[in-house]
A and B are shown apart, each in its own frame.
Chain A
Amino acid sequence: MPKASIVVPAYNVAATLAETLRALLRQTFDDYEIVLVDDGSTDATAAIAAPFEGARFRIVSQSNRGLAGARNSGIAAARGDYIGFCDSDDLWHPAKLERHVRHLDSRPDVGVSFSGSAMIDETGKPLGLSQRPMLRGIDAAHIFRRNPVGNGSAPVIRRAALDAIAWRPAGEYTRDWWFDETFRQSEDIECWLRMALTTDWSFEGIPGDLTLYRINSGGLSASTEAQLRAWERLVEKLSPLAPGFFARHTPAARAYQLRYLCRRAISDGDATAAGRLAKHSLLSSRRPLWEEPAKSATTLAAALVLGGLGSDRFHSLRAALGKRGLPTNETS
Chain B
Amino acid sequence: MPAKTIVHLVDDTTAGGVTRVIDFMLASPEMAGLGRHRVVVVPRGRFSAPALDDDIIVSHLSVSWRNLPQLVALRARYADRTLIHVEHSYTAAFTGLKVRHRPRFFALLRTAYSLFDRLVAVSEAQGRWLSERGLVRREALAVIPSCVDLAPFLRMPPRYGTPRVIGAIGRFDEQKGFDILIRAFRETRNPDIRLHLIGDGADRVALEALAAGDDRISFQSFSPDPASVMSKLDLIAMPSRWEAYGLVALEARAAGRPLLVSRVDGLEDHVAAGARAVSSNTVESWREAIARAVEAGPALHIGTARAREEAQRRQRETPRLWNALIDGARGATSRDAA
Contact with A along B110-132 (1 / 0, CB 8 A): 00000000000000000001001
Of the A-B pairs whose beta carbons lie under 8 Å apart in the complex, a sample of 5, sorted by A's number, is: A168-B279, A176-B279, A197-B97, A199-B96, A200-B93
Interface residues of A in 182-229 (CB under 8 A from B): 194, 196-202
A200:B174 contact, CB within 8 angstroms: no
Asked whether A109 and B92 contact (CB < 8 A) given A200-B102, A240-B179, the answer is no
Q: Does B74 contact A (CB under 8 A)?
A: no
Q: Closest CB of chain B to A175's CB: distance in Å?
A: 13
Q: Does A242 contact B (CB under 8 A)?
A: yes
Contact with B along A60-83 (1 / 0, CB 8 A): 000000000000000000000000
Asked whether A170 and B97 contact (CB < 8 A) given A165-B280, A202-B102, A241-B241, the answer is no
Give every chain A residue within 8 A of B99 (Cβ-Cβ): 200
Q: Does B180 contact A (CB under 8 A)?
A: yes
B280:A167 contact, CB within 8 angstroms: yes
Asked whether A244 and B283 contact (CB < 8 A) given A170-B288, A170-B292, A199-B96, the answer is no
Interface size on B, residues (CB 8 A): 29
Q: Which 6 A-B pairs have the closest CB atoms?
A: A167-B279, A200-B95, A167-B280, A200-B96, A170-B288, A200-B92
Interface residues of B in 145-180 (CB under 8 A from A): 174, 179-180
Interface SS majority for chain B = helix
Q: Does B315 contact A (CB under 8 A)?
A: no
Cα-based distance from A197 to B281 in the complex (angstroms):
11
Contact of B180 among A164, A194, A197, A240 (CB under 8 A): A240
Give every chain B residue within 8 A of A244 (Cβ-Cβ): 174
Q: Closest CB of chain A to B185's CB: distance in Å?
A: 12
Interface residues of A in 241-255 (CB under 8 A from B): 241-245
Give every chain B residue within 8 A of A245 (Cβ-Cβ): 97
Give every chain B residue within 8 A of A242 (Cβ-Cβ): 97, 241
Q: Does B81 contact A (CB under 8 A)?
A: no
Asked whether A240 and B102 contact (CB < 8 A) given A198-B96, A200-B95, A200-B96, the answer is no
Q: Does A122 contact B (CB under 8 A)?
A: no
Q: Does B334 contact A (CB under 8 A)?
A: no
